[in-house]
Amino acid sequence: MKFRNLFEVKKLRSARSAYQFDMELGFWGVPGFNERVETGIGEKKINVSLNSDGDREKEITEIDKNGSIVVIGGSHTWGVGIEDGRRYSDILAKKINKQVINMGKASFGIDQICMVVTNKMIKYNPRIVIIEQYPWAILRILNHYMGRYVKPYFKLDSNGELQLVKVPKIAKFRYMRILSGAFLSYIKELKEFRSGISIKDNYDPMNDPIFQSWKLAHYDYMYKLFREILLTTKSYCDEKNIKLLFVLGTIHQQFVGVEKSELIDYDLPKTKIKDILDDLNIDYVDTKDELLKNHSIEDPVIFDDGHINSKGNNIFASVILKKLKKLSWL
């Protein structure tokens, strides 16, 4: 085996190759994808297996008659840098001996998550839906373009009503996606520049405008939009008698010992999100305390880029399990 591997030189594709264009959501997993890919972080090279639905899950042939538990979120849920079977959803399933289905997609925002919950998830007969989202990722609802893909987005009309703007039909052509994406990115950057926010050049994540209270007014619309998207998601879950739990991650900056200042508050977006969750009566759990308590330079809970590692995934699973038990949902 070692002798054969010495001569079989095959360049691994990146984890991005596990995704493809999707007219409804902008991008989605490639059904049946099964490769060892390069991630550049964590375990560097990991096995990624997607089922026929494009989810990083084993093939779902039978649904729990009492309803399943479905988790959805961004890259932390999808498991960037983590091998198949070692994500927090896999660990949670083993701890409770129940069906836990992972529909996470790297770079997903709460807008796409809402669309999955209200449209695609029903096939799994969810009894409990767990949404993971890192506080800074709320910014994604302002993006009309993500990576190589044009994505759908929500906006508020003049009456404050939520409206969905679908992916334009021309986006099915690759080069049109690139052109559209460049145009949409330019418009977004122009709006930010006019608002006194420009992060394109010399970007420093420690000083991201979303953590600056004196620039909070720029994000008023974003938080209003976030609230309406969450309200739509909750209303759907209530109608279908689905229990909804929101899981808050911890941003990279808080692991490096940077103190809060008069200008920078790394809890600011999380505080705003919690206020909205409380207002909408949505149950949530914050992973910050447990992650920070168990983190050290010698034995970290995150990779260098801030994604949770194997230890972090175990903590995520434990925090979620404790909350589910407290809510008496199991």
State the CATH number of the domain containing residue 37.
3.40.50.1110
187 or 10: which leads in pLDDT:
187
pLDDT class for 118, splitting at 50, 70, 90? very high
Please tell me the distance from the alpha carbon of residue 281 to that of residue 288, in angstroms, as a whole number: 21
Mean pLDDT of 106-125: 96
Answer yes or no: is 35 within a domain. yes
pLDDT at residue 130 tops 80: yes
Residue 86, φ and ψ in degrees, nearest 5: -120, 15
CA angle, 229 then 115 then 14, to 5°: 115
What residues make up the domain containing 158?
A: 11-326
Least confident of 165-169, 211-215, 259-263, 281-285: 259-263
CB atoms within 10 A of CB 177: 20
Q: Which of 10-14, 74-78, 137-141 has the highest mean pLDDT?
A: 74-78
In our burial notation (b when 16+ CB lie closer than 10 A, e otherwise), range 23-59 reads: eebbbbbeeebebebbbebbeeebebbbbebbbbbee
Least confident of 9-18, 148-157, 190-199, 255-264: 190-199
Q: How many domains does the chain have?
A: 1
Q: What is the pLDDT of residue 301?
A: 96
CB 104 within 8 A of CB 77: yes
Answer yes or no: is 5 within a domain. no
Q: What is the pLDDT of residue 257?
A: 66
Answer yes or no: is 6 within a domain. no
Answer yes or no: is 237 within a domain. yes
Answer yes or no: is 2 within a domain. no
pTM of the model as a whole: 0.90
